[in-house]
Structure 1
Amino acid sequence: MIRTKTLIFALLLLSLSWLSAIAQHAQLPTPWTEIAKQTEVPLAEYPRPQLERKEWQCLNGTWDYIGGKDAPNALNPSTSISFDHAKENILVPYCPESYLSGIQRKQEVNMWYGKKFELPKQWRNKDIILHFGAVDHNATIFINGKKVGAHAGGYHSFWFNITPFLKTGQNTLVVAAHDSNDGKYPSGKNGPRGDYTFSSGIWQTVWIEPVNKNHIQSIKLLPQLVEKQLKVQVNSISKAKVTAIVSAEGRQIAKMVSQSDADFTIPIENPKLWSPDAPFLYDLQLYIHDGNGEVIDEVKSYFGMRDVKLANVNGIMRPLLNGQFVMQLGLLDQGYWPDGILTAPTEEALKHDIEFTKNAGYNLIRKHMKTEPQRFYYWADKMGLLVWQDMPCLWYPDEDTTVYRKAFRDEYKAIIDEHYNSPSIIAWVPFNENWGAFDVKNITNWTKQYDPSRLVNGNSGFNNNPSYQKAYGDPGNGDFVDTHIYVGPNGASVPDQKRAASLGEFGGVGLFVRDHMWPVENNAYAYEPTVEALTDRYIFLMDNVEQLVRYKGLSVAIYTQTTDVEHEVNGLLTYDRKIQKMVLNKIRTVNQAVIKAGSSLNEQKKGMIFRSK
């Protein structure tokens, strides 16, 4: 009897071991999965390319972790916890629901992270700033057992000055993260009605940097083409003298001395324009000085000289880039990964989808219902892709409106502020298909006033609506009349007297690729049986888009989508990014033909009148 019990216990342990091994198996590995898994410090590239300092330290890598059902409540805790008996480790910055994290547990709510670190000796007498790329959704930070502060919002970066909490030698950082995943806060597809794997906690880079007491906190850059200048604002802890130097291809072309916390302009003679065809970027060096003229902080940045407007072209409202109508043809880009969920496994993976989109002949991506690390926008800036940036939706806007609607507005503003300097971003999209839509007209107007340098699509796909919520519909303002047509494109919106016509989503034609699909029941809006048939179907759709551009006033068309995403198999790439589902050179040819058709309309324009912003 004892031997039988022993045998049963041994088999049980073996079974649990086998189940654990299955749990840690990558269901659909990408070409970068094992590289990321074996990297001691993953995603170790400098995380903030538009405000770069020479000295910094990446804190990504292995952290202690306490999660699951037995984790203490992590919603705004007042005290830290000990990791002396922690049995798990997590690989930051991958969310605990992902394979790459090493946890791979479904929908964590309370998460506790612990990390020990030491400061380099040369950082003595410096202030130390602790940065988080993004933590979903509430984060409370402790250093050496003392509470530093708390932050709410899952899609934008934040920081704390942790200098008063540090000690000589080893320091302990604890992050308590709480994510209710109930759809009441902005959550996009990462919520109860969002279709895909929920994700929680730390999902972008954690890092520290040393600064002087007075240092540059943020910068704001606005290219002004008509005036041939760059408008600059440098915000510092205390007011200081600022020196700004602009370089082009290694040669200094302009220098300006001014003050921080006030706007000033830098002349840019004969500016080289930024566009998808020629994404030229200027280098910008910024210094602030103490009362003796000594440099006390130095950062490196960049900018692109471009402007975006709406104009009447041959009697039709069209979006212009640098004074010319450019047909915006792009992909719906959701930014999900089978191994990292919201987080690309490596820098090469992050670049991959942008490179593929560019090589396929598109000039636009619509970043759908999520934000990305700042390096994503850096590569879009550098490679030359236009970006429409969605605001991740909340799902239940009518519950406790003073709390949840305020959270939406606060995070939307933070996202605009964080990515304001990126030349690739040309439009903000506060709402999609009425999901969580509220005060759309007012929020659209606010966006136009807050950032008049870009276009605004107030409610992309206002013709669609979730069944549980009353449709807000067309707000009637903003810069686009935008409908979603699946499969389409016929039936797309037409321009009105004040707005351009956009087909914000269409297509969605699927192809099953055995051994390269997420292990669930897969679906799409329509299907084709082979690569060749899908390619031909796509070409036919794009030929129809060209007709709409030429004769119906269409100015934007966004095809669904860059990659398959979990159950959806309507991507140009499989979810693991290993298989191209259409013939790339044929896709590129027809895409370029559609964009060229749009450009040909510039040759006919006469008496063009610019809209007042």
Structure 2
Amino acid sequence: MKTKYCLLYLGIILFHGLSVKAQTAKLPTQWTKAAMAAAVPFPDYPRPQLERKEWMCLNGKWDYIGGKEVASAFAPVKPIAFSDKAEKILVPYCPESVLSGIARNQEINMWYRRTFEMPAAWKGKQIIINFDAVDHDATLFVNGEKAGVHAGGYSSFHINITKFLRAGTNTIVVAAHDPNDGRTPSGKNGPRGDYTFTSGIWQSVWLEPVSEHYIKSIRLLPDLVNNRLQVFVDADQAKVKAVALNGSDVVSEISGRSGTLLYMPIKEPKLWSPDDPFLYDLKITLTDNKGNIKDEVSSYFGMRDIKLGKVNGVIRPLLNNKFIMQVGLLDQGYWPDGILTAPTEKALRSDISFTKKVGFNLIRKHMKTEPKRFYYWADKLGLLVWQDMPAIWYQHEDTAKNRSAFRKELVDMMDDLYNSPSIITWVPFNENWGAFDVKEMTDWVKKLDPSRLVNGNSGFNNNPGYQEAAGDPGNGDFLDTHIYVGPYGASVPDDKRAASLGEFGGVGLFVRGHMWPVENNAYAYEPTKERLTDSYVLLMDQVEQLMRYKGLSVAIYTQTTDVEHEVNGMLTYDREVEKMDIERVKAVNEAVIRAGNELKAGK
């Protein structure tokens, strides 16, 4: 959704003629040029499951001060002074990326500044500023006054800045501090990770006006057993009305008090699945005791459930009481021009569309999170999602601090993404990277969200070189091994857990002119597109044998795209070249999924 205020600010930026400092991309994508030229990147409303009509997009050009000599941005008490010679950065791209206009190696202390004009129509409203992600410690100043702080690089936060604002022009300064020392979650871009370190603002920033009493968050839980949707609205005590719609047709509505569980009946629900990703629209209205509307948001939901059950005596994951063989791609979500941030909305959607096009039904979002619009597209297009938590790296040092930071961000991530029907599994740890108390953490995550499956340590058989593998934690919903090239040697189910091949494959192909300029590698190699396709088809034929006769229920191939030093993607890193015969890939994927559909659920 684009509003007049977002478009108004676009006009202001164009009027002043601001432009990004010229940079040359090491490996451009088809979206690089458009991203660099965008006055307001990502102009669509960033939070599709809690959407308001009035808002102002603050993506675009900000003043920027960074580099080795800049003052510390960790917990400052006042903003630093900006000169007329301050650099310009294009938000929301991290300063390490070429799209930001900065393209410097790891920034630790970052200072951002911009101004905005308060719309006259917002007079008397409470003004909330929203940050979808700032890595890692952020301090916000509004008109020189400290307005709020946040810690966590992968979670959103929201600050009421009303009391700091004035009519006309207002100035925002964000201080972001990111030592990237492995003591907070950092995933693959940490000190022991594989890819470019990233810092600072890397997802959208926006403003929205609300009443004194407004909807802070919602929590939606489909309940297929009782044909209903559980709705929780976090707001000051007031009356709530929720209306579910199928297009313009009202399906159900319910009223009650905010802060309490409400149950909306959904008679004969249309179920959400990869084959038919049907989504209901949802309107939620907050009123006072006199019936005056105080807030109104739009959302959506999918009616689906996920659990374990027996199919011919074998424990398997059941979606809507049916076993669907999960055939997926490991999706790392890195970009040669934006690094952690896709260059455009079309780019963000493209990886999901490609995955769907070639017959996969699952994405494992590996060691990072994405903007909420990524999950919207997974919900909309119909892809199951396994969501990893980005790892810490020094879990055995200063354990009270480092492990607490991990737990906090894990909870924040789960809260942020809870409503997305596509997400069916949480993955707290990967291959023992940053892993601690795996058995206890697995149970804890399951307690936090019993509506989803939990894979406590995907690839528990593997380990980083600096520590031993802890092995099977013995709990959770999956026995999950990583086998390269595989797939033989994959886990088999036990009497309580399903069997998953959380990573396999990783077969590489060099494509000149489409690789990151470093030494590239893979787990194995093929010389041609035809040979690589043959290799993939053979692997999937073997996966089918494991599914039929060894109880395998999930197989996740490495990976969607090449990454900075890896050439084992189905696409090149710039997304320009399909490295396999896509029709053959699609055919074998669909054949394996069909074979799974032939298995009948039962005791």
2:162: which partner in 1? Answer: 163
Secondary structure of 1:131 counterpart: strand
For residues 49-128 of structure 1, what are the structure 2 equivalents within 5 Å?
A: 49-128=48-127
Give distance in 2, aligned partners of 1:70 and 1:87.
14
Give distance in 1, aligned partners of 2:304 and 2:520.
42
For residues 534-613 of structure 1, what are the structure 2 equivalents within 5 Å?
A: 534-602=532-600, 605-606=601-602, 608=603
For residues 506-517 of structure 1, what are the structure 2 equivalents within 5 Å?
A: 506-517=504-515
1:265: which partner in 2? Answer: 263
Contact 1:65–1:86 (Cα < 8 Å) also in 2: no
Deviation at 1:84, TM superposition (A): 2.2
Give distance in 1, aligned partners of 2:303 and 2:562.
34
For residues 423-572 of structure 1, what are the structure 2 equivalents within 5 Å?
A: 423-572=421-570
Deviation at 1:470, TM superposition (A): 3.6
Give distance in 1, aligned partners of 2:29 and 2:156.
27
Deviation at 1:23, TM superposition (A): 8.9
Letter in 2 for 1:296: K
Give distance in 2, aligned partners of 1:115 and 1:509.
46
Contact 1:276–1:383 (Cα < 8 Å) also in 2: yes
Give distance in 2, aligned partners of 1:61 and 1:536.
45
Contact 2:21–2:88 (Cα < 8 Å) also in 1: no
Deviation at 1:226, TM superposition (A): 1.1
After superposition, give the CA deviation of every residue in 1:500-549 in whole Å (9 maximum; x if it has no partner).
00000000000000000000001000000010110001000000000000
Contact 2:21–2:101 (Cα < 8 Å) also in 1: no
After superposition, give the CA deviation of every residue in 1:248-283 in whole Å (9 maximum; x if it has no partner).
122101111111000010000010000000000001
- How high is the TM-score relative to the length of structure 2? 0.96
Give distance in 1, aligned partners of 2:246 and 2:148.
41
| 1:41 matched to 2:40 | yes
Letter in 2 for 1:401: T
Give distance in 1, aligned partners of 2:87 and 2:346.
28
1:184: which partner in 2? Answer: 183
For residues 412-427 of structure 1, what are the structure 2 equivalents within 5 Å?
A: 412-427=410-425
Give distance in 2, aligned partners of 1:195 and 1:438.
21
Letter in 1 for 2:478: F
Contact 2:386–2:423 (Cα < 8 Å) also in 1: yes
Give distance in 1, aligned partners of 2:316 and 2:559.
24
For residues 364-443 of structure 1, what are the structure 2 equivalents within 5 Å?
A: 364-443=362-441
2:242: which partner in 1? Answer: 244
Give distance in 2, aligned partners of 1:547 and 1:267.
42
Letter in 1 for 2:546: L
Letter in 1 for 2:160: N
Of 307, 312, 321, 1:314 maps to 312
User: In 2 relative to 1, CA 96–22 (structure 1 residues): closer, same or farther, beyond 3 Å?
Assistant: closer
Give distance in 1, aligned partners of 2:462 and 2:58.
43
Secondary structure of 2:159 counterpart: strand
Deviation at 1:86, TM superposition (A): 3.8
1:29: which partner in 2? Answer: 28
Deviation at 1:190, TM superposition (A): 1.3
Letter in 2 for 1:60: N
Contact 1:43–1:347 (Cα < 8 Å) also in 2: yes
Give distance in 2, aligned partners of 1:342 and 1:95.
8
Deviation at 1:85, TM superposition (A): 3.9
Deviation at 1:468, TM superposition (A): 1.4
Secondary structure of 1:350 counterpart: helix
Give distance in 2, aligned partners of 1:184 and 1:468.
16
Contact 1:23–1:104 (Cα < 8 Å) also in 2: no
Deviation at 1:22, TM superposition (A): 12
Deviation at 1:184, TM superposition (A): 1.0
Deviation at 1:481, TM superposition (A): 0.1
For residues 186-205 of structure 1, what are the structure 2 equivalents within 5 Å?
A: 186-205=185-204
Secondary structure of 1:306 counterpart: coil
Q: Which 5+ residue runs of structure 1 have no aligned equivalent?
A: 1-20, 609-613
Secondary structure of 2:555 counterpart: strand
After superposition, give the CA deviation of every residue in 1:42-85 in whole Å (9 maximum; x if it has no partner).
11110000000000000000000000011110011111112124
Give distance in 2, aligned partners of 1:49 and 1:419.
11
Give distance in 2, aligned partners of 1:464 and 1:255.
49
2:326: which partner in 1? Answer: 328
| 1:301 matched to 2:295 | no
Give distance in 1, aligned partners of 2:594 and 2:440.
36
| 1:348 matched to 2:346 | yes
After superposition, give the CA deviation of every residue in 1:213-242 in whole Å (9 maximum; x if it has no partner).
000000000000010000000110x20001
Give distance in 1, aligned partners of 2:300 and 2:220.
9
Give distance in 2, aligned partners of 1:253 and 1:105.
52
The number of equivalent residue pairs is: 584
Letter in 2 for 1:307: D
Secondary structure of 1:319 counterpart: strand
1:10: which partner in 2? Answer: none
Letter in 1 for 2:361: N
RMSD, aligned α-carbons: 1.1
- How high is the TM-score relative to the length of structure 1? 0.94
Deviation at 1:358, TM superposition (A): 0.1
